[in-house]
Structures are given as C-alpha cells and as structure tokens.
Amino acid sequence: MHRLEYIFRRLIMAVVVLISISIITFFIARVMPSDPAAAWVGPHPTDEAREVLGLNNPLYIQYLRYMQGILHGNLGTSVKTHQPILTDLKTYFPATLELVSVSMLIAIIFGIPLGVYSGTKKGSLLDHTTRLLAIAGVSIPTFWLGLIMQLIFFGYLGILPLNGRISTETALYHPITQITGFYLIDSAITGNWVAFKDALLHIILPAVTLATYPLGLTIRMTRSTMIEVLNEKYILAARAAGISERTILFVLALKNAITPTITVLGLVFVYSLTGAILVEVIFSWPGLGTYVTNAVLSIDFPVIVSVTLIVTIFYVFVNLILDLTQAMIDPRVTLQ
C-alpha cells in the first residue's frame, strides 16, 4: 500500500511538472521576436491568416486551445513541415531513441566492469588507466570527437560509413520494413541481414561518440562506490568465509554499489534524447535533435512545446522507474 501511495503521489507531481513546463515553454516561445504566421504562409501574412492560426487571440486563449488539442491526442501541426507533429515524431523520435539506447548499452557493458575492477585494484596501473579514460570521456567535446572519428574510421581507414542511418543502396535494394522504427530491431525481426549489417555499421560511430560521456561517468561512479562498499564488514566476512572474489565483486558488492550509477545513467539517458543534437548534426542522423534544431531556427512553436513536453514526460517516467528500482535493489532505500 505504501508503494501505491508513493506512485500516486509521484504521478500527481508529474502532472504538476508537465503543466508548469508547458506554460513556461509556451509563453517563452511566444515572446520570441518572430512571426509564426510569416513562417506558415510567407513573408507577408494577412490578418485572415493570423486569425486562422489563432494568433490574434490572447496568449492564454492560445495556450488553452493548444492544451485542449494535446488532451485529445493532437500535438498540433508543424509550421515548417506543415505535417502533424505526431507524424514527424514517428520518423524522428525512433532514430534518436535507437541511437541513445545503443550508446547507453555501450556505456553499461564497458563502464560497469571497468569501474568494478578499477575500484578493486585501487592505485594499480589498471586503475590509473581506467581513471584517465573516465576523465577523458567526460571532458572531450562531443563534436570534436565525432569529427576525429569520422576522419580516422572513414577518411583514413575506410571501414565505417561517414553519416546517415543506412546507405542509399541498401535502402533501395534491401528496404527495412518499419515495425518499431529501430532499424536494428526491424531488420533482425524480418531477417533482413543485409540491412542489419548496414544499419549496425552506420550506428557505430555516432553511438560510440555519444557514449563517451556516460561511459566516463559510469566508470567514475562505479569505481567510487565500489571502493566504499569493499571496505564494509560484510565484504570482509565473505572473503574470510572463502567466497570467490568474482561472486563478492559482482554479486555482493556490486548490488549495493550500483544504485547511484543506475540513477545517474537514467538521468543521462533522458538528457541524451535532446543532448545528442551535435552528434546528430555531425553524422547527419535524422533524429529528434535535428528536428528540434530545425524547429528553433524556423521558430516552430508547436514543435518546440511538444518536444519539450515529450522529453519532460520521459524524464518524469524514468525518475519514477529509477526510484522504484532502487527500492527493490536496496531495501535500505525508503520511498519518501
């Protein structure tokens, strides 16, 4: 019952946050020095055009109408593409979600083991090397790393494609049947292994580039918490009892050390949904970052507000999942 009350309380807070974000974003977008009617019909919009777009109404009326549309599942129409925003999101959002998911998977697969062994071998050459890697990961500018990787792996070695999600030849002769919007998953489900290989090669460079920050963060967080946990009495008792070192590290110690890392990774995941803008621009990745960038440049109010709301929803949802996961992993965590 306590957990249900906690979930209900968090959902109420989520609604308040979403409403607050929508109000702030909507009114900030509206006070920007631009004319959305001009972006829609041309440089010389008429009063009739503004009336049709509802721009002659007071701001609070425009906001209420916009929120009414959202409650009915209508995010509005993009000023730039003249398409329903939901239609655009079905194209752009899966691309970003796939890129971010692969980058986070890379960070978890490599970051947690490196952090564990670095914390175990404190002061060793492995520890110093891993710490240097972690510092570099959180310090190197993403755009610079992306350009360097393009120069090396495409320009010099010629083993990986330069940009895009899939090559033109593969798209023509081995098209991917859209199911989830994730090229890797859709091509694997349909047995289109030619497209799977091509999509995998295309996602390596942008995913590795985007993964550098969460990888460095994962290593540092896991290392610091492992050092703290390994000094606990129950770890010393387990070693005295003859339990294998691998079991002590990856079962007993990691279970308690992983909680802060999970929290940070969850927040980084949501941040990356819009924080991948530079990576998407460099690698011509047709994702949410590209969509938002075009919306800002064209002062596309409906897109700006809608994307902000969607990212906020993800942020709130991921926070809730993280809190519940922490409570299940570590009984010492109470649901406040």
Spans of all domains in the chain: 89-301
Fold of 89-301: MetI-like fold (1.10.3720)
pLDDT band at 210 (very low <50, low <70, confident <90, very high): very high
pTM, full prediction: 0.81
Phi then psi for residue 167, to 5 deg, are: -75, 155
The 3 state secondary structure assigned to 130-147 is HHHHHHHHHHCCHHHHHH
**Closest residue by Cα to residue 289 from 267, 300, 305, 273:** 273
Q: Which of 22-36, 86-100, 141-155, 222-236 has the lowest mean pLDDT?
A: 22-36
The pLDDT mean for the chain works out to 80
Q: HSE, CB side, 13 Å, CA atoms: give it for residue 132.
A: 7
pLDDT of residue 35: 56
pLDDT of residue 336: 52
pLDDT band at 202 (very low <50, low <70, confident <90, very high): very high
Two tokens, residue 96: 């970003």
Task: Look at the chain and count its residues.
Answer: 336
